[in-house]
Amino acid sequence: MTVNALVFDFDGLLMDTETTMVEGWRAAWAQHGLTLDLDDGFWPGHGGDVTAHRLDRLAALVGPTFDRGVGHRAYEAHRARLNGSLPLRPGVAEWLSAARDAGVALAVASSSPRSWVREHLTRAGVFDHFDTIATGDEVADHKPDPAVYHLALRRLGVPAHEAAAVEDTPHGLAAARAAGMRTVGIPNPFVPATALAAADLVLASAADLPLKDLLTRLA
């Protein structure tokens, strides 16, 4: 069955904002002489903003002297410096250009807010490649709930069986599958490929497969 639309997650998939996020929190932990433990409840297993949860964890470690505002600003400042030069992940630009040439519709379905997604895609020079974006501040529930994918598909005017989602996390794949879409998994640096085994196709990178071959394999 032909794939007429590709819908991409944003964070960790189109751009490696997962690494900048981790490095931002490492900097916030280091300000207090602490080492961030990524295995101790750091990953929430769902989309959406968990900043408050991470500040709670840091506050519990530092104690009553912890200033949440200072801690949050330290995190955001360090991450912003890293994000300022963040490129698209390998192969992504080639996929986007090939999709436009082939007449395949493009969308983003992200749990992050629209302002965040638009800012980074604009800086990377690819915001206008997408026919629409759907974001977490437009739906009631975050991934693994399929709401943001349903919204993206409605805006594209494409039925789920004619679309494929590209995701980097298990909860993102679960959301796309719940929406009735075919799925491609491309792990970010903090997700093992085995965690994306539920996808119809798993790649190490978008650079591993030309878009025309991807569409053929999905069909």
- In single-letter form, the type of residue at position 62 comes to V
- 3 state SS for the chain: CCCCEEEECCECCCECHHHHHHHHHHHHHHCCCCCCCCCCCCCCCCCCCCHHHHHHHHHHHHCCCCCHHHHHHHHHHHHHHHHCCCCECCCHHHHHHHHHHHCCEEEEECCCCHHHHHHHHHHCCCHHHCCEEECHHHCCCCCCCCHHHHHHHHHHCCCHHHEEEEECCHHHHHHHHHCCCEEEECCCCCCCHHHHCCCCEECCCHHHCCHHHHHHHHC
Does residue 9 carry a catalytic annotation?
yes
Q: How far apart are CA 172 and CA 218, in angstroms?
A: 18
Q: Is position 11 annotated as part of the catalytic site?
A: yes
CA–CA distance from 9 to each of 36, 60, 92, 152 (Å)? 26, 32, 12, 11
Q: Are 149 and 175 in contact (CB under 8 A)?
A: yes
Active site residues: 9, 11
